[in-house]
Amino acid sequence: MSEQAQPKAGGRAAPGGVLRLRGREFGPGRHAVMAVVNRTPDSFYDRGATFAFGAALEAADAALAHGADIVDVGGVKAGHGAHVSPAEEIGRTAPFVAELRARHPEAIISVDTWRAEVARVCAEAGADLVNDTWAGADPDLVRVAADAGTGLVCSHTGGLAPRTDPHRVHYGDVVADVLATVTGLARRAVASGVRPDRVLIDPTHDFGKNTYHSLELTRRLDELAATGWPVLVAVSNKDFIGETLDAPVAERGPGTLAVLAVSAWLGARVFRVHDAAGARAALDAMAEPALRPGGGRGL
């Protein structure tokens, strides 16, 4: 796994493929849990459970207490739903980021947005990472990340516009398409001034993909890890798990943990999840003995 994660020559990833955010380092074999906190009333998973400011803070506190390394704050549902203006998205995210930064000075804070203006205000409020799940739909976003000194997630959506679903999507080789897109975006980010050790790539399961594509990406995730760019996987309770197991959203926890384990084994570095405690336990079990809590003593 560690050998797979070394960067190829000329790949422009950080030396050793190390991810650095807020003074912390995540090299090959070190797994970072990214806890989801949705400041939305219509999330597919929690149906608005953390929309209220206080509830969102409690969720973030709990996630950090249970081993999360990163809190990912989102203000717009990924899928179809009511229109959310940039101003409203800023109102949902930036004050929360500021409060979370004051409350947890050492925590890594991510903002899930594709809009440059939202990313800029959230970076000013204290965000360390811009999680762009829509593959650079706003071309100014990369410049915001560079100017603010934040990290950037480079994703793949198969050309879909934000908040749209695929229809009869087809790829000759979905992994090849993802590799070309995310590494291209990563190189563009570095050329625009984003530090190489703050860039991640995300195959973006289910975005612009059907269940077969997401399963194929999971099986061949080592090909993404082999680029040297740290790989983020956001698979928690997603539809490809539900369709594979014929499980509704509330029953996708075991499938999620299985995909997290496979992804960790194949070299993924950051794991975006709804259940931080469960993910932390699963990923610690997958870690190399020297990197486990307590150094793997007693094993």
pLDDT at 110 over 90: yes
| Confidence band of 64 (pLDDT split at 50, 70, 90) | very high
pLDDT at 212 over 70: yes
User: Tens digits of per-residue pLDDT, 117-172?
Assistant: 999 999 999 999 999 999 999 999 999 999 999 999 999 999 999 999 888 999 99
pLDDT at 193 over 60: yes
CA distances, 247 to each of 42, 168, 205 (Å): 20, 22, 17
β partners of residue 200: 153
Q: Which of 6-15, 171-180, 228-237 has the lowest mean pLDDT?
A: 6-15
19 versus 295: the higher-pLDDT residue is: 19
Looking at residue 195, its pLDDT comes to 97
pTM: 0.92
Arithmetic mean of pLDDT, 63-81: 96
DSSP codes of every residue in 51-104: -SHHHHHHHHHHHHHTT-SEEEEE-S-SSS-S---HHHHHHHHHHHHHHHHHH-
Number of alpha carbons in the 13 Å side-chain half-sphere of residue 211 = 10
pLDDT at 199 over 80: yes
Arithmetic mean of pLDDT, 169-192: 97
Whose CA is closest to 208, among 244, 243, 177?
177
Arithmetic mean of pLDDT, 93-100: 98
Arithmetic mean of pLDDT, 273-281: 97
Catalytic residues: 238, 272
| Confidence band of 291 (pLDDT split at 50, 70, 90) | low
User: Tens digits of per-residue pLDDT, 231-252?
Assistant: 999 999 999 999 999 999 999 9
Question: What would the two tokens of residue 151 be?
Answer: 């990290």
Give 231's contacts (C-beta < 8 A, 6+ positions apart).
200, 201, 202, 203, 221, 224, 225, 263, 267, 268, 269, 270
| Confidence band of 295 (pLDDT split at 50, 70, 90) | low
The per-residue pLDDT of the chain, averaged, comes to: 92
Looking at residue 297, its pLDDT comes to 40
240 versus 11: the higher-pLDDT residue is: 240
The CATH topology of domain 27-288 is: TIM Barrel (3.20.20)
Arithmetic mean of pLDDT, 163-187: 95
Q: Which of 35-44, 139-148, 178-187 has the lowest mean pLDDT?
A: 35-44
